[in-house]
Amino acid sequence: MTIHPIVVCGEPVLHRKAEKIDSFDAELAELIDDMFETLAASNGVGLAAPQIGVGKQIFVYDADDEVAGVRRRGVFVNPILAASKIPDGRPSIEDESEGCLSVPALDFPLKRAHKVTINGVDGTGEPVSLTVEGWFARIMQHEYDHLQGTLYVDRLDKKWSKKWKRAQREFGYNEPGLSWLPGTDEDPFGH
């Protein structure tokens, strides 16, 4: 298994819709193994293929589902997501702040749907489905967005979008070619 560099905001693959996967072969199995290895090294909770420079519709996750009281680890290939209504109002800094491995060292509050159902297939082409709530629903929405070419910072409200624009200039997160290697480079989130 290989730990891949995580590409940073500004890399074109992060800003375009990923391609569907139609071949469930040894190459895909290796990609999934590499993604889990990269996720573990990054101390993240989810990782989409575009984040390692692969424009394919696949993401992995490994995180606690506090609402269900279980740890969930798995993969979604070619997923479809249905979400409940996003609540009105301003996002809470304490309860709704979100980060991203492709936007290192930063987090911003963002409103998300409280409940989602996600359907797709696993790495062998077998159907998988989850209906989740709370923080785990946030993770599913975040990773699904990556496959649509959307970063969480693209969804920020006006106030936080202005702060993001300033941070983007400060950190240089608008140019292609930036990446960090989990397990080798300093952890930008301080884990």
Instruction: Give tens-digit pLDDT for 36-83.
Output: 999 999 999 999 999 999 999 999 999 999 999 999 999 999 999 999
CATH number at residue 26: 3.90.45.10
Q: What pLDDT, on the 0 to 100 scale, is given for residue 189?
A: 83
**In the predicted model, is pLDDT for residue 133 greater than 80?**
yes
**In the predicted model, is pLDDT for residue 191 greater than 90?**
no
Inter-residue long-range contacts of 173-176, CB under 8 Å, 24+ positions, other chains counted: 173/8, 173/9, 173/10, 173/103, 174/9, 174/10, 175/10, 176/10, 176/11, 176/12
Q: What pLDDT, on the 0 to 100 scale, is given for residue 122?
A: 98
Residue 189 lies in a domain: no
Instruction: Give tens-digit pLDDT for 79-132.
Output: 999 999 999 999 999 999 999 999 999 999 999 999 999 999 999 999 999 999
The pLDDT-based confidence of 172 (bands split at 50, 70, 90) is confident
**Is residue 135 a contact partner of residue 149, using CB atoms and an 8 Å limit?**
no
Residue 59 lies in a domain: yes
* Residues designated catalytic: 143
100 is in an annotated binding site: yes
Residue 80 is part of which domain span? 6-180
Residue 1 lies in a domain: no
15 is in an annotated binding site: no
Give how many domains the chain has, as a whole number.
Answer: 1
Q: What pLDDT, on the 0 to 100 scale, is given for residue 174?
A: 84
Residue 175 lies in a domain: yes
Measured CA to CA, the distance from residue 166 to residue 60 in angstroms comes to: 31
**Is residue 111 a contact partner of residue 86, using CB atoms and an 8 Å limit?**
yes
Residue 123 lies in a domain: yes
9 is in an annotated binding site: no
Residue 190 lies in a domain: no
Q: Which residues pair with 120 in a beta bridge?
A: 128
Instruction: Give tens-digit pLDDT for 2-31.
Output: 999 999 999 999 999 999 999 999 999 999
Residue 112 lies in a domain: yes
Q: What pLDDT, on the 0 to 100 scale, is given for residue 91?
A: 94
